[in-house]
């Protein structure tokens, strides 16, 4: 068993305790069973148990807006403002530093994952007409097929300092598919090199979702259902040495702080994991969160979106400087 697998195994006991505590704290989630249904009314408020160096005890998520039509792909902009995808309305929304909401971009091809590259371009994982490409300041397709087959439904992405793009392309449940997947196609992780070449990273992640890089970009993290997998990043961008990093309760989006702690949007709240894979705690949220990102002028605010709502959570640690999430 690899060292990463041992760390994941050690996390199982604390995770069970945290999930039980979250339930006692009334963070039980009553989710709509079909995508697109309105979510039931959430609990009025939840309160965090303190996590040393991360969040003060008693911190409550601040609701900025609810009633939105599909919320995903939140990221922080260089000036501290926030972008997120309101995918059912096919648009990108910006929250400025005064908490004003405004449409940033229309006709977003049902984007559900966002990032900025080193050129300042807004890159999106686009799910209606499946592709990864530039949405602003111009429109440009970077990848829409592999080995003669179209992509299925790009989900999430993270961009490295060199301008390379890691992204997930899962096979969604049939009721969430826009088209029949190509014959024989399996879920995949990909990398678009800075020169524009599309590389298949691995077939070993069967339920890919959120992707993230460690602050030093030597480790790639990928959600695989109820696990986080970790890979060593190779000089050319390839991923090697897969190992189980941590256990989660239905993982979705990922963020990372400046000290290398991983934040995982899960069915029970936002799970915080140490750089070694140990579960540090759970930040409860009133609704199921799908995507998270550090933002604000000091990058000490964690923005969390899901079920048509946008929350802001005050933290004691900053996100990685220059990183979108």
CATH code of residue 238: 2.120.10.30
For 262-267, what is the mean pLDDT?
94
The three state secondary structure string of the chain is CCHHHHHHHHCHHHHHHHHHHHHHCCCCCCCCCCCCCCCCCCCCCCCCCCECCCECCCCCCEEEECCCCCCEEEEECCCCCEEEEEHHHCEEEEECCCCCEEEEECCCCCEEEEEECCCCCEEEEECCCCEEEEEECCCEEEECEECCEECCCCCCEEECCCCCEEEEECCCCHHHCCCCCCCCCCCEEEEECCCCCEEEEECCCCCEEEEEECCCCCEEEEEECCEEEEEEECCCCCEEEEEEEEECCCCCCEEEECCCCEEEEECCEEEEECCCCCEEEEECCCCCCCEEEEECCCCCEEEEEECCEEEEEECCCCECCCCCC
Q: Is residue 17 part of a domain?
A: yes
Q: Is residue 169 part of a domain?
A: yes
Whether the pLDDT of residue 212 is over 90: the answer is: yes
Q: Is residue 281 part of a domain?
A: no
pTM across the whole model? 0.87
Please state, for a pLDDT cut of 70, what percent of the chain lies above it.
Answer: 86
Distance CA 155, CA 177 (A): 12
Q: In the predicted model, what is the mean pLDDT of the chain?
A: 88
Task: Give tens-digit pLDDT for 150-198.
Answer: 999 999 999 999 999 999 999 877 766 677 778 888 999 999 999 999 9
Is residue 87 packed enough to be buried (19+ CB in 10 Å), middle (13-18) or exposed (0-12)? buried
Q: Is residue 59 part of a domain?
A: no
Q: Is residue 50 part of a domain?
A: no
Number of domains the chain is built from:
1
Print the domain residue range for 160. Answer: 1-22+108-257+320-325
Whether the pLDDT of residue 15 is over 90: the answer is: no
Distance CA 266, CA 18 (A): 12
Distance CA 268, CA 170 (A): 22
pLDDT at 172: 74
Q: Is residue 38 part of a domain?
A: no
pLDDT at 267: 83
Q: Is residue 171 part of a domain?
A: yes
What Å distances lie between residue 224 and 172, 204, 213, CA to CA?
13, 9, 15
Q: Is residue 144 part of a domain?
A: yes
pLDDT at 44: 54
For 61-72, what is the mean pLDDT?
97
CA dihedral (182, 184, 190, 192) positive or negative: negative
For 227-254, what is the mean pLDDT?
96
């Amino acid at each position: 068993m690899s060292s990463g697998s041992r760390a994941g195994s050690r996390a199982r006991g604390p995770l069970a305790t945290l999930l039980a505590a979250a339930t006692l704290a009334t963070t039980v989630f009553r989710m709509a069973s079909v995508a697109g249904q309105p979510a039931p009314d959430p609990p009025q408020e939840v309160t965090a148990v303190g996590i040393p160096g991360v969040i003060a005890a008693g911190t409550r998520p601040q609701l900025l807006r609810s009633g939105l039509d599909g919320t995903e792909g939140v990221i922080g902009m260089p000036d501290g403002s926030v972008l997120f995808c309101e995918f059912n309305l096919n648009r990108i929304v910006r929250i400025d530093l005064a908490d004003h909401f405004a449409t940033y971009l229309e006709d977003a091809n049902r984007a559900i994952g966002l990032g900025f590259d080193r050129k300042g371009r807004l890159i999106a994982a686009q799910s209606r007409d499946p592709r990864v490409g530039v949405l602003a300041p111009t429109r440009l397709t970077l990848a829409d097929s592999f080995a003669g087959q179209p992509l299925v439904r790009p989900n999430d992405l993270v961009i490295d300092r060199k301008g390379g793009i890691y992204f997930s392309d899962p096979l969604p449940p049939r009721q969430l598919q826009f088209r029949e997947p190509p014959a024989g196609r399996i879920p995949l992780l990909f990398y678009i090199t800075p020169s524009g070449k599309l590389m298949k990273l691995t077939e070993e992640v069967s339920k890919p979702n959120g992707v993230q890089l460690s602050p030093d970009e030597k480790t790639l993290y990928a959600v695989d259902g109820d696990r986080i997998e970790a890979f060593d990043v190779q000089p050319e961008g390839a991923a090697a040495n897969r190992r189980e990093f941590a256990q989660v309760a239905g993982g979705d989006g990922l963020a990372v702080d400046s000290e290398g702690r991983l934040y995982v949007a899960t069915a029970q709240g936002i799970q915080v994991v140490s750089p070694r894979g140990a579960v540090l705690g759970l930040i409860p949220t009133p609704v199921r969160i799908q995507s998270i990102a550090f933002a604000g002028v000091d990058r000490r605010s964690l923005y969390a979106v899901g079920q048509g709502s946008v929350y802001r959570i005050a933290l004691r640690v900053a996100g990685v400087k220059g990183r979108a999430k």
